[in-house]
Amino acid sequence: MSVLSDWPTYLLKNIPREVREGIELEAGSGAMAEVVRGILCAHYSLDCDPVLTRNKFLKVNGTETMILRLQPALFKEIRKEARRRKIPTRSVIIEALESHYQGGVT
């Protein structure tokens, strides 16, 4: 069993406006970072339990930067894909989010 404080942290910068707006809409009054994490878990077909957080910053709309806490297995899959494709981790994450909001295959 992993502990949230042991999970890798990733600073996702320059989130495209269309993706950010989709995240905001889907999150409603919930945590935007949780929406992103859920999308990534689905993209990699991982069974990820929701994370409850009290961090109000995670609910701020209009930001182009987010701090993500990802399960170790999820972060490992993202990094593995980035290495395989020889692209930045950010690109892998953004592509998965764009695919989700454009109705692509996850």
Condensed to tens digits (0 to 9), the pLDDT of residues 20-29 reads 999 989 988 7
Whole-number pLDDT of residue 28: 85
What whole-number distance in Å separates Cα of residue 73 and Cα of residue 58? 22
The gap from C-alpha 57 to its chain's centroid, in whole angstroms, comes to 15
For residue 49, pLDDT over 90 is answered with no
Whole-number pLDDT of residue 2: 53
- The better pLDDT of the pair 59, 101 is held by 101
For residue 101, pLDDT over 70 is answered with yes
DSSP-derived letter for residue 68 is E
For residue 59, pLDDT over 50 is answered with no
Task: Tell me which H or E stretch contains 20.
Answer: helix 17-27
Domains in the chain: ranges and CATH: 4-101 (1.10.1220)
Three-state DSSP class for residue 66: strand
Confidence of residue 74 (pLDDT cuts 50, 70, 90): very high
